[in-house]
């Protein structure tokens, strides 16, 4: 059975990535270690590590992208919680067999070099769940 290791990151949708980074660095005190663009997901992502987890700030690069649509519907805020798993394909197979509604039945490439997959909020008590596996990192 595939194992959930810990919370990997909290994804927060923001309108202005630079302003959000400045807030987290200057007010909260968490430093941004990198920013990258993920064209397939129409998003620019900033990573702010805190202990074993990260804050992941997400800014849309396209008004039709999923983050732009999330902000339009819900406003800025927590968009997803990501859990690190030791075997993403096995965990997806287990969840599918258990009847969990999946957005992604197969892993896809996400930010930071992770393989990711999302579970549908209608099957997770109303919040978007991401599962991720980072090559070479089990903890």
In a domain, 58, yes or no: yes
* Residue 112 confidence (pLDDT): 87
Give the domain range for residue 8: 4-133
At 55 the three-state DSSP class reads strand
Pairing status of strand 77-85 against strand 108-109 = unpaired
pTM score: 0.91
* Residue 135 confidence (pLDDT): 80
For 92-119, write each residue's pLDDT tens digit: 999 999 999 999 999 999 988 899 999 9
What would the DSSP string read from start to end of 105-117? SS-EE-GGG-EEE
In a domain, 139, yes or no: no
* Phi and psi torsions of 99, nearest 5°: 90, 15
In a domain, 35, yes or no: yes
């Amino acid at each position: 059975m595939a194992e959930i290791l810990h919370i990997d990151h909290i994804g927060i949708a923001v309108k202005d990535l630079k302003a959000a980074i400045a807030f987290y660095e200057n007010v909260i005190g968490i430093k941004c270690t990198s920013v990258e663009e993920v064209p397939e997901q129409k998003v620019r992502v900033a990573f702010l590590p805190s202990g074993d987890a990260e804050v992941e700030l997400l800014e849309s690069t396209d008004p039709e992208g999923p983050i732009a649509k999330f902000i339009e519907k819900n406003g800025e805020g927590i968009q997803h919680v990501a859990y690190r798993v030791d075997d993403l394909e096995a965990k997806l197979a287990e969840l599918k067999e258990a009847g969990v509604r999946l957005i992604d039945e197969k892993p896809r490439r996400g930010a930071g070099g992770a393989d990711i997959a999302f579970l549908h909020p209608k099957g997770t008590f109303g919040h978007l769940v991401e599962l991720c596996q980072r090559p070479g990192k089990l903890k």
